[in-house]
């Protein structure tokens, strides 16, 4: 294998052109590694394009809390519920859900919170490194305003934030009066009577940012190729990723960052923790009044973000295959749940209707690090927080790849756990 004098790899192939893969590519380049990026459909084609665009470490709350399990059981027979589990005979889905249910306990939840602490603490800084060094896309400072129908409902979020603080992640937040709520969220209907402002957060145009990141990686010398990888092998010449049509790319190391499609290749590398597609839906709607910052509707599990002069509305956690077709009924369910809560939204004029799969692990911890195949690494399984944690994941993994030493921050994310 062709190595540098310091022992690190000279070349890498990154499989996946979403925010995690491209961030890893960028930080590898920063360390002097020549990078080729391959993706079956192109830059930002998966969950990186249509999500809510939040860089919100203050709301990176693991999914595997006990209340989610109770809510999921109640939702099984409600096709309009924000958490949708289709009643299918898919054994892999039910195996995943069984393992997920086993982790819906406070000790597992707390472990996931503590594991995520270093990622959340450095997530904004990692974005600043990218935007200060050639990634030409803005990140916008703004609080996230969570709105509720009653003070009692608002106290539920406050209790979650207090649990985060007890686990080591304090979140700066302020309860809002009804008058303050109307000031922060001009679209709030009279049904809403309480709010919580979460400070110190940011948002981006997610597709725009990832495309800018892709351009920056290419400007630094990388090649981005269209390739659907079917196999990966370690050989004397390095690591080879091979497409279905026989085309191949060989490099000293390879990084698998394929999001919800990660199990297909990661299993070949000895990764046994399952990754399930938790599909989210989004669309864009015009509004009567401008919206200046993100709005969170926890009671219906919907996130709203200013987007190109309109409002992006994102919601639903749908456990289906990553390539399943878009289900218009899910979009209708989101609209039906939000319509009473927001006024001055032209729901019938929606555009950019989208579905994308978020990679969810059963224990709330991502998969980041080396696999059983020498020279093959994985980076994925971030659930709903891949956009927020993508750049810091890339920075930490690039450190591990080039030094051969696992950063302390990645110990809890061992893909072979």
88 pLDDT tier (thresholds 50, 70, 90): confident
Encoding tokens for residue 337?
A: 């749940």
Check if the beta carbon of residue 75 is closer than 8 Å to that of residue 84: yes
Listed in sequence order, the residues at least 6 apart from 264 whose beta carbon sits closer than 8 Å to its beta carbon are: 258
Distance of CA 389 to the CA centre of its chain: 7
Is 168 within a domain? yes
Is 5 within a domain? no
**What's the pLDDT at 249?**
96
Distance of CA 272 to the CA centre of its chain: 20
Kindly list the distances between the CA atom of residue 142 and the CA atoms of 24, 51, 197, 305, 373, in Å, as whole numbers in the listed order.
26, 17, 10, 11, 43
Is 2 within a domain? no
Is 251 within a domain? yes
Encoding tokens for residue 195?
A: 């709010």
Is 381 within a domain? yes
Task: Give residue-wise pLDDT tens across range 22-58.
Answer: 999 999 999 999 999 999 988 988 788 999 999 999 9
CA distance from start to end of the chain: 28
**What's the pLDDT at 77?**
63
**What's the pLDDT at 38?**
97
Is 3 within a domain? no
Distance (Å, whole) CA 266 – CA 269: 5
Is 131 within a domain? yes
Task: Give residue-wise pLDDT tens across range 382-402.
Answer: 999 999 999 999 999 999 999
Distance (Å, whole) CA 100 – CA 71: 13
> Which CATH number belongs to the domain containing residue 75 in this structure?
3.50.50.60
User: Domains in the chain: how many in total?
Assistant: 1
Is 6 within a domain? no
Listed in sequence order, the residues at least 6 apart from 352 whose beta carbon sits closer than 8 Å to its beta carbon are: 50, 282, 283, 284, 312
Distance (Å, whole) CA 81 – CA 162: 27
* Pick from 64-68, 145-149, 251-255, 410-414: least confident: 64-68
pLDDT of 3 over the 60 cut: no
- Domain range for 382 is 11-413
């Amino acid at each position: 294998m062709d190595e540098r004098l310091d022992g690190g790899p000279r070349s890498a192939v990154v499989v996946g052109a979403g925010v995690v893969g491209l961030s890893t590519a960028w930080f590898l380049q920063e360390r002097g590694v020549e990078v080729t990026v391959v993706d079956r459909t192109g830059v930002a084609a998966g969950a990186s394009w249509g999500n809510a665009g939040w860089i919100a470490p203050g709301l990176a709350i693991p999914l595997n809390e006990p209340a989610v399990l109770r809510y999921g059981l109640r939702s099984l027979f409600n096709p309009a519920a924000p958490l949708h589990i289709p009643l299918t005979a898919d054994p892999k889905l039910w195996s995943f859900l069984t393992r997920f249910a086993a982790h819906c306990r406070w000790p597992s939840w707390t472990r996931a919170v503590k594991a995520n602490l270093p990622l959340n603490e450095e997530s904004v800084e990692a974005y600043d490194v990218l935007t200060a060094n050639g990634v030409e896309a803005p990140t916008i400072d703004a609080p996230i305003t969570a709105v509720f129908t009653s003070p009692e409902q608002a106290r539920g979020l406050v209790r979650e934030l207090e649990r985060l603080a007890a686990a080591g992640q304090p979140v700066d937040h302020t309860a809002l009066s009804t008058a303050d709520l109307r000031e922060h969220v001009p679209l709030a209907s009279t049904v809403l009577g309480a709010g919580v402002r979460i400070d110190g957060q940011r948002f981006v145009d997610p597709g725009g940012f990832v495309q800018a990141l892709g351009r920056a990686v290419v400007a630094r010398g990388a090649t981005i190729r269209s390739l659907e990888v079917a196999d990966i092998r370690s050989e004397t010449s390095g690591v080879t990723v091979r497409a279905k049509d026989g085309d191949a790319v060989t490099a000293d190391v390879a990084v698998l960052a394929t999001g919800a499609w990660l199990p297909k290749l990661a299993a070949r590398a000895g990764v046994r923790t399952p990754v399930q597609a938790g599909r989210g839906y989004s669309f864009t709607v015009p509004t009567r009044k401008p919206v200046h910052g993100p709005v969170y509707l926890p009671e219906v599990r919907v996130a709203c973000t200013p987007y190109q002069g309109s409002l992006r509305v994102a919601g639903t956690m749908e456990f289906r295959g990553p390539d399943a077709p878009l289900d218009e009924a899910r979009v209708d369910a989101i609209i039906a749940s939000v319509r009473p809560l927001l006024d001055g939204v032209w729901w019938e004029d929606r555009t950019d209707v989208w579905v994308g799969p978020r990679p969810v692990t059963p224990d709330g911890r991502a998969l980041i690090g080396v696999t059983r195949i020498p020279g093959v690494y994985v980076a994925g399984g971030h659930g709903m927080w891949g956009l927020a944690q993508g750049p810091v994941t890339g920075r930490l993994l690039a450190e591990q790849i080039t030094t051969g030493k696992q950063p302390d921050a990645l110990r809890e994310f061992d893909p072979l756990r």
